Amino acid sequence: MQMEETFSICARTGGVHRGDGRKLDPWTWAWRPAAPPEAGESHDGVGVLSHLAGQVDRRSLPVGVIGPREATAAQLDTAQALGRRLGDLGLVVVCGGKGGVMEAVCLGAREAGGLTVGILPDAGWRGANPHFALPLATGLSEARNAVIARAALVLVAVGGSYGTMTEIAYGLHFGRRVIGLDGAPDLPGLEPAGSVEAAVALVADALLAEAGLS
């Protein structure tokens, strides 16, 4: 298991630093060489995203949430709670734009003031669920599953269906981290999470690792 990395938030500037001293540029989403930070608070990945959420000059990062239209009541509750937490952290929720898990996660994100993006299978946008700020009509039918997996930097699956499994497979094929919640298929490469908070911690870890690839 990968050890959780901690980050320092500079007491004077509010900048986020890694243990090697490099500073996160929240617009280019990359770690840059920097002078050693003044003493400040230590945070995990979720704490870093929470710190950045209120800043204007930072890039909003897309997190894909996938799951079935025919979801259980528990899965809908989980998806809504997940959306709310992602919205709290200033992250963009990207999903398929229809009902079930997709609608529930968008409701949660919208409640938190987050941005929701729907990658719709339809040729028109009016078939989107009512909680999307940005519905994108692709006209690609189920092939839009690959677009979701490619567009998101990390994927969270809530529950499972054949369509969800294709999105998981695409995500793993594209080198994305894929996290599973509440009945997600037990597939090789998928990282199970026991709770919404555990899933959000894995999302934060994946996004901060993405910054190290620049």
Whether the CB-CB separation of 46 and 63 falls below 8 Å is answered with no
Return d(Cα 81, Cα 49) in angstroms, integer: 17
Fold classification of 62-210 is: Rossmann fold (3.40.50)
Residue with tokens 């950045």: 52
What pLDDT, on a 0 to 100 scale, did the predictor assign at position 38? 78
Return d(Cα 98, Cα 24) in angstroms, integer: 35
Query: How does DSSP assign 14-53, residue by residue?
Result: --EE-TTS-EEETTTTEEE--PPPPSEEEE-HHHHHHHHH
What pLDDT, on a 0 to 100 scale, did the predictor assign at position 1? 41
Element spanning 136, H or E: strand 134-137
Q: How confident is the model at residue 154 (pLDDT cuts 50, 70, 90)?
A: very high
**Nearest 5°: CA angle at 160, between 157 and 166?**
80
The first and second tokens of residue 81, run together, are: 């709670």
Does this model's pTM top 0.75? My answer is: yes
State CA 211 to chain mean position distance. Answer: 14
| Pure H helices in the chain | 45-53, 73-88, 101-111, 144-151, 162-173, 196-211
For the stretch 9-48, pLDDT in tens is 988 888 999 988 899 999 999 999 988 777 778 899 999 9
What pLDDT, on a 0 to 100 scale, did the predictor assign at position 158? 98
For the stretch 118-143, pLDDT in tens is 999 999 999 899 999 999 999 999 99
Residue span(s) of the chain under CATH 3.40.50.450 come to 62-210
What is the percentage of the chain residues whose pLDDT exceeds 90? 82
53, 64, 68, 12: which is closest to 35 by C-alpha?
12
